[in-house]
Amino acid sequence: MIYRQIFKHVFSKMDPEQAHHLVHTGITVAGKTPFVAGVIEGALAPYLTRGAGVRVFGRRVPGPFGLAGGFDKDARAVRGLNMLGFGFIEIGTITAHAQPGNEKPRMWREIEMEALRNRMGFNNQGADVAARELSALRSTPKGRSIFVGVNIGKTKVTEPQDAAADYAYSAQKLAPYADYLIVNVSSPNTPGLRDLQNVEALRPILVAVREAADKATAAAHAGRVPLLVKIAPDLANEDVIAVAKLVQELGLDGVGAVNTTINHNLGPGGLSGKPELERGIEVVSLLREHLDPEHVIIGSGGISTSRDAQRYLDAGANLVQGYTGFIYNGPLWARRINKALLGR
């Protein structure tokens, strides 16, 4: 209730992107101040270090509910986000080359439906900068204990025929630090990107990323990094099934479902938040029906409560994640959901 009042009287009156930067900076600074981070984590999320967690990719994930890509684009706030109770953190989307993203304004709140619209356009500092941040994170015992997914996308200026090499560069730089890589071909805010969800366009990208990641981890004497693909809620069911078949054909490790939707008439950008819940669960259920049990599904879209998260798990997801709900529910949100899902 306190956070709701702060949101109503402070954050809702700020430009959404300005509010994001303010919160992101605060979380980053707190996370990089060891005493502060330890105290906050001890108060909010002791269950993440002491409990059994869940087993995914043959490893322990401290909690089944994590933060989706989009909040921490350059891997600067990972430690701070972990202290707030997220079971895992997905950074990005990261592109091979730094880019400013689309012109502003590019983020809008839809407060009455607890949703966001954005046309950010993968604004980030590029794979080299993210690799340096992750290298620093992984240099400490605490940093190595955090379960981190790395979301990679296509640089806007890269031509579609060169997309595979663009994704492969990011994979080569980032795979040694990732607990999983997820290939984002589903953002509506990079022209032509969603066309890459077509299985014939997607196949060479995934093959190139797999090869680049394997070479990088071998050179770093690290284990093989799991590889997933992120899909949109707007794919027709037959296309969702086609992606599932491609995942099996290529021996990938799973799918992330879903990204933002363009199925709305609210203005420019993809919509995230509560309106996505039902379609997200439907896509996860369809994927589970057409994937083998060992394939991991990360469900996202519209999660606001632990009940929403549990519905994704019941539909066949192994892990769940959210972002928009963080904005509307505040810093204790992840803690509440993970405690409920873990029965604590």
Q: For this structure, is 272 an active site residue?
A: no
Helix axes 333-341, 306-315, angle to 10 degrees: 50
User: Could you read off the pLDDT of 304-321 as tens digits, one per residue?
Assistant: 999 999 999 999 999 999
- Give average pLDDT by consecutive 10-residue segment, the chain, 344 residues: 92 96 97 92 80 90 97 98 96 98 97 97 97 97 96 95 96 98 85 74 95 97 96 93 95 96 95 97 98 97 98 98 97 95 87
In 3-state terms, what secondary structure has residue 187?
Answer: coil
Predicted local confidence at residue 115, as pLDDT: 98
- Which residues make Cβ contacts (< 8 Å) with residue 288, sequence separation at least 6? 297, 315, 316, 317
pTM over 0.85: yes
pLDDT in tens, 13-51: 999 999 999 999 999 999 999 889 999 998 887 877 777
Q: Looking at 170, 186, 187, 285, which residue is catalytic?
A: 187
Would you say 151 and 184 are in contact if contact means Cβ atoms under 8 Å apart?
yes
CB neighbour class for 4 (10 Å; exposed up to 12, middle 13-18, buried from 19): exposed
Rounded Cα gap, residues 260 and 136, in angstroms: 31
Cα separations in angstroms, 49 against 7, 87, 117, 124, 237 = 30, 10, 35, 31, 39
Q: What is the pLDDT of residue 193?
A: 66
Provide the β-strand partners of residue 296: 254
